Structure 1
């Protein structure tokens, strides 16, 4: 049995489907099983209950445990869980202690290592799904307003993260590894706005704002903290110096090229219309 935390999230929902298609038994955790809309083959359970009986592998999404893991790892070990695959972040390669995003993921990675369980840490960079934060602007024809228009990232489709996670949960080939995952191309934010416009059949606009204005906007959002906002803006500023690095890991692990941002935009076009 594979337990998937965050099963209705961007990655978790696709992972549940990938595992079921691979013939795995899946227990999917969600805050509200009644509204989860997950495949009928999945066993549903509540996140706050987290039943671990019969579970041999655990997919751990740390956003579900932003306040801390508590006794989750001790319970998993006592229940006979053998492997933990964690959705970490490429930020974890940054050892700067002021980067709270890196510190959060590294703390959980080290806690998992200390259990003695098998582990794999998936380290994706920017999610293509982050651009869903622009949907209100694009729907209404307003410009997408962001700082650092020359900054380049390699946004990854959440389905590719799920496909990699499924391989690491169902095979032994990637135990003890920390693959950094990316999309197959380096893009600026104006590039992504343009591509979304092409997907929905009408132009979408981009407008540059100052880092100070962006910081104020981010801090006004729920769950955004100063340290996290500052880390995100610093990473964006550093990304203006050249093309983003493209990782080969998605293709190496899944056996096929990663999906382009244009494919992601086509998959999610209705969200922007």
Structure 2
């Protein structure tokens, strides 16, 4: 019966994973939440927090005992190591819900193909930009009520992590999702500058967008330790969304029966992160 499965959430301490844990518990599932350090995971009561290191596939045997479905977030920018993880999952579970991305990067495509050949029931989640990406502006907004970034005209439909989790939980606990690929977005397309304006409206303090060059943004991200390929990928995607805005999809509502949450709703949920002390 839907909601009465034992689930292992790999990536449980991330923005999306925490929501998958919480909503799976609410749906009545038994939840094991994988964390490298269970003592500091801070996950909801009711979840069984277990130690998992994805570099050690043998360590998955006990956490997978009795598990029927696995939520899989792969935190690496390569598919290396995934075959052994999938072998461990396929030996014990029967279903996997994999968090891919709308960009379907090379390693994500490879992982999807591995999963398709694994013999597991599978569902792929391909989210577009997360509303939570706006948190990278939070420090500057708290300090100066300004966002200094390139490509203010880049337009996208930001996705609330609660909506991604709601779709994931349907696929983990219910039937009818085997072989499905869900492209997930929020309900409205907004430019980055418009997102900054919404944040200001919610916190009651106007937030100004200050355009900087892509070159300046690239230097700043590299100085923060971002890998060059990741920096270039982000800036390239933003440039493309200036001329080709990403369109909203109806998938969240089609799968869950509830409309996707707006960016304003997401900001309201996280408003304290943007308000000055």
- The normalised TM-score by structure 1 is 0.92
Residue-by-residue CA offset, 1:84-137 (whole Å, 9 max, x unaligned): 100110001xxxxxxxxx112112111111212111110000000011011110
Q: Distance in 2 between matches of 1:83 and 1:221?
A: 38
Q: How many residues align?
A: 262
Q: Which residue of 1 aligns with 2:108?
A: 105
Equivalences for residues 1-273 of structure 1 within 5 A: 1-48=6-53, 49-50=59-60, 51-63=63-75, 68-70=80-82, 71-78=84-91, 80-92=92-104, 102-141=105-144, 143-222=146-225, 224-273=226-275
Output one character per residue of 1:14-42: Cα deviation in whole Å (capped at 9) or x when no partner: 11111111111110011222222222211
Q: Could you say if the C-alpha distance between residues 67 and 113 of structure 1 is closer, same or farther in structure 2, counting changes exceeding 3 Å?
A: closer
CA distance in 2, matches of 1:106, 1:53: 28
The Cα RMSD (Å) is 1.5
Runs of 4+ with deviation above 3 angstroms? 64-70
Task: Structure 2: give runs of 5+ residues left out of the alignment.
Answer: 1-5, 54-58
Distance 1:271 1:243 in 2: 27
Deviates more, 1:132-141 or 1:106-115: 106-115
> Matched residue of 1:139: which SS?
helix
CA separation in 2, counterparts of 1:41 and 1:66? 33
State the 1:166 CA deviation: 0.2
Contact 1:5 1:64 in 2 (8 A): no
What displacement does 1:143 show? 2.2
SS in 1 for 2:117: helix
Gaps of 5+ in 1: 93-101
Distance 1:141 1:20 in 2: 39
TM-score normalized with structure 2 length: 0.90
For residues 77 and 8 of structure 2, the distance between their equivalents in structure 1, rounded to whole angstroms, comes to 15
